[in-house]
Structure 1
């Protein structure tokens, strides 16, 4: 947690806290703030750091992310209510499920902005909430100290936004609330990918659906992994039937929806269009070792994105892996350069 502006002022400024685990998300939001707004900005990378700052008087206004490690945004809002801490919270999140908006509003958030928040949206929200009147124009503007953003951080935040849009679609299709994780982004050799997949398996037999994609020279494969013990529950949730044929049909349909929405969200942010192949069942009721043995030649060294979804009120989990080819990393870096600089 660190202060980023507000040392050279003629009068008292508004303590503003920007809380997000992504340096890129904090950078985007700080760039979207109204020019000349008299604020002193403090940054926090998780909810626990945010509460320390708020208790220290550094968060009269708070821009708060929801999906974070250590302590998420929901827990922060609940703690603010429980402790009676005074601050005005605007949630800025990639989790755009209708239920997420309802829950944060119930917990006291004054507004909800979807990531990435555009400057005009931030301005309209601040004006509507009456947050721009006090002291505006009576401050010597100082440059904000923006965080340094790595490729991994920039791409993880891009995936985070896409993941949230996919979850909102999934929530509408299934009629449930989807718990979102912080996505993992790593460059993995095939042996490391083996370990990651084995960990996802946790000893269960799995069914995996694979779908290739390519666009703008960026290519890869999406792998959606279901645990066999949960497939029938998923089928019943989606269609109310669980015979073998409908289970496989359900997996392919669900895979198309989830993978398509996630890829579309990434493509929109980096200004390309992905063409997707037909989803294929890679291994039905197969142990994870068999899935890896069948596909290790294709995967070799890869940029791997891991997203573990879970459905509230149901013992249902599934893992989405986006495996980008090694050659795609340089192209992705170029596409994200404007966000990192």
Structure 2
């Protein structure tokens, strides 16, 4: 009988871990372990539970780059396949330079995963050793976790496009997903930007029973720096620059959501919600726009630049049951 291969799936999303377990080739004798952050993942590798590691890049406590760096520093031996929604060319280059054997974009295609496993050069099993995985328990996945993973992949698509346009590396967070009352939404906006002066662009979207608004918030102090990265024409106004960036980020993010959920979202014309004001003023000017909402908060920061954009996707309360049905289809 073939010897079981210790395989570790290190990803903060239970949905991503479940998808990867389902995508593993059936004729490989894996003994699967799971970790939901980089520090626990390192402990599992040290304990011998990860001869092969399927590693996410965007995680809390310690990200995938940090895991690869620590493995190199400690001399930990494992074949790492990065499976990530961060598909920037620089992210791929860095992961491979740090020792990853290959890179697969999320959501992982089973054929791509099998090809990456075969490329490790391990001998193929010759018996029905897949039975070793017959009792492998798939993680439970809730709506919030699943939708956060969908948003994470969409966020990565937008970052890849933004990175190419600006010529920089975009640092990505774990998205925040919450159902918020209007007062809680106002607090989230205040926490995101504090008392600095900001400008905000809003773009509505609708389709397949889903509706909402995407809100992109800029610090006024950073607009000139962004203009220099874009080599923007001197005749272009800061507002034109903000509208250009909103089209890039919001459009790519909505396309990423649409692709995963099997729907088509049509977006309206961008609107200026406020310029050169505090978040408190922005809320006061637009108090009637937002009610109870499913809010996805994503912060993009540019490496080696003091520049950050906050993107919030605000889905109407009526959209939530439709989204839950679409997410249930992905989960099950």
TM band (smaller chain): over 0.9
Name the structure 2 match of 1:25: 16
Q: 1:216 maps to what in 2?
A: 208
Does residue 192 (structure 1) correspond to residue 184 (structure 2)? The answer is yes
Quote the offset at 1:128 in angstroms. 2.3
Instruction: Quote the residue 2:239 is aligned against.
Output: 248
Contact 2:9–2:34 (CA<8 Å) still a contact in 1? yes
| 1:124 to 2:115 alignment | yes
CA distance in structure 2 between the aligned counterparts of 1:135 and 1:13, rounded to whole angstroms? 12
- Aligned partner of 1:163 in structure 2 is 155
**SS state at 1:48 partner:** helix
Q: Matches of 2:95 and 2:127 in 1, distance apart?
A: 29
Change (3 A) 1:271 1:138: closer
Matched, 1:106 2:97: yes
Mapped contact 2:79–2:120 kept (Cα < 8 A): no
Bigger mean CA offset, 132-141 vs 229-238: 132-141
Alignment correspondent of 1:339: 330
Gaps of 5+ in 1: 1-9
Distance 1:256 1:283, change over 3 A: same
The CA RMSD measured in Å over matched residues stands at: 1.4
Please point out which of 199, 210, 231 is paired with 2:223. 231
Q: Which residue of 2 aligns with 1:178?
A: 170
Match of 1:201 in 2: 193
**Contact preservation (8 Å) 1:232, 1:242:** no
- Pick from 133, 140, 153: which aligns with 1:148? 140
Tell me which residue corresponds to 2:27. Answer: 36
Question: 1:222-273: CA deviations, max 9, x gaps?
Answer: 0000011111111121124566x42111100110111000000001101111
1:318 and 2:309 matched: yes
Q: 1:131 deviation in Å?
A: 3.4
Between the aligned partners of 1:136 and 1:81, the Cα distance in structure 2 is 34
Unaligned runs of 5+ in 2: none
1:297-322 per-residue CA deviation (whole Å, 9 max, x = no partner) reads 22110000000000011110010000
Shift of residue 290, structure 1, vs aligned partner = 1.7
CA gap of 1:139–1:85, structure 2 versus 1, over 3 A, is: same
Instruction: Report the equivalent of 2:257.
Output: 266
Q: Distance in 2 between matches of 1:242 and 1:323?
A: 34
Matches of 2:293 and 2:13, distance apart in 1: 22
**What is the deviation of 1:98?**
0.3
Q: 1:263–1:139: structure 2 CA closer, same or farther, 3 Å change rule?
A: closer
Give the CA deviation at 1:144.
2.2
Moved over 4 A (4+): 240-243
**Is it true that 1:12 corresponds to 2:9 in the alignment?**
no
Residue number in structure 2 paired with 1:78:
69
Q: Which range moves more in the overlay, 134-143 or 14-23? A: 134-143
Give the secondary structure class of the aligned counterpart of 2:288: helix
Give the TM-score normalised by the residue count of structure 1.
Answer: 0.94
Deviation at 1:132, TM superposition (A): 5.3
2:277 match: 286
Q: Distance in 2 between matches of 1:311 and 1:290?
A: 26
Partner Cα separation in structure 1 for residue 218 and residue 131 of structure 2 = 56
Give the conservation status (yes or no) of the 8 Å contact 1:37–1:136. Answer: no
Q: Please state if 1:64 is matched with 2:24.
A: no
Pick closer, same or farther for the CA change 1:131–1:165 going to 2, 3 Å: farther
Shift of 1:37: 1.1
